[in-house]
Structure 1
Amino acid sequence: MTSSIATVPADPQGATKILVLGATGATGRLIVNQAVARGYDVTVLVRSAGKASDITGAKLIVGDARDETALRAALEGRDAVVSALGTPVSPFREVTLLSTATRALVSAMKAEQVSRLVCITGMGAGDSAGHGGFIADNVIFPLLLKKVYADKDRQEAIVRNSGLNWVLVRPSILNNKPGRGSIRALTDLSGFHGGSIAREDVAKFVLDQVHADTWLHRSPLITW
């Protein structure tokens, strides 16, 4: 099982300009806060200004992440994109938000010549399926998250085939505990079943990938 400790690389001269999608989610808010604390120039694209009223230090653009025109406007002058888009549990209805938004994002990024994409999916996507532990693999995923993760799989395929400089980040089960400051980042999942990680540590790892090439064109599962 391979592992890596996430560290913060030195940023290049000048403020890094990023666009954050999913900024009003629990993990997205931490990403925005940490990016601002790092001195980044942060733009967020949100569907509702009201839900983002407590986000400070970032430029707010209201629009739909599935709308390529809105995405292109938000991407202007950006160096990288961090996608923390999520979708609610959907046991019965098909889920298409993640793949639809990601397809529009890839097209918009190419049009605006923004090449770096760091995209959060989750443990259970792609070849990490079956590594969530007994309850997750046999109860939670098949009964509640099957349709969500089918769309995450489509989302990952779009990213992989995008031609962009991408990193797919697959967190284990998220919690709101204080971050530990160090994590395991795994691509060999032999013998791994389950695990959890603080959203705070996920945000740190994701922002590290804006500059670091350690996981470029790879899809690490991150966990404690």
Structure 2
Amino acid sequence: MRNERKYKIITLLSLALALLLLGLGVREPFRMATAEYRQHEEYVLKGAQIYAENCVQCHGPYGEGVVGMPLNRAEFRVDPASPAGKEIYAYLFDTIARGREGNAAHYQWVRVKTPEGKDAWMSYTEMPAWLKEHGGPLDEEAVKALTLFIMYDDPSGSQWYMVGDSSKAPIPAADLTPDETGVIPLPTPTCPRRSTSPPRPCCGIWRRPSA
């Protein structure tokens, strides 16, 4: 009887342990997903602060674009873990890290003609490098936070309202803003490039989708 009781206790304890481990296994993916979500949100909040302190003057408090390219664009608001998101993340991170070529002869947006003869806007303004490795003031974590802030996957672009009137950077005069909004990149860059190692992306042309 004693052995039988002993075996029953061992069996019950083994069953309880198995159920406990099963429960932990089921909860682990959820726990990890929750932790990743919280970390992502922290990056976005940090990125909003960095944007407000450094980027508003050229890109606008709502990412609408001033002398710099518009950043509040639907094609940027994608999941960074998706195949398309990884490409966009790499493009934005690299651009922020190393800056963009410009032309000192032009300070702001200039009206130009595309190869097809359509009106477009060209931003010749040079963008400085922001990553310390390339002479900028930010570390990799800060550049990552800024990139994830721009890519925050909300169809309404709500992350830009975390900046808005709270911006610490000076707001440029309204006459510096081009009258074109919702611009998209054209595939053919036309601004001058100078030799750099590694080369920085050209500023390119931006135009309305309906143009």
> In which range does the TM-score fall when normalised by the shorter chain?
under 0.3
Q: TM-score, length-normalised on structure 1?
A: 0.23
Q: TM-score, length-normalised on structure 2?
A: 0.24
Higher helix share: 2
Higher strand share: 1
Q: Determine which structure has more spread, i.e. the larger CA radius of gyration.
A: 2
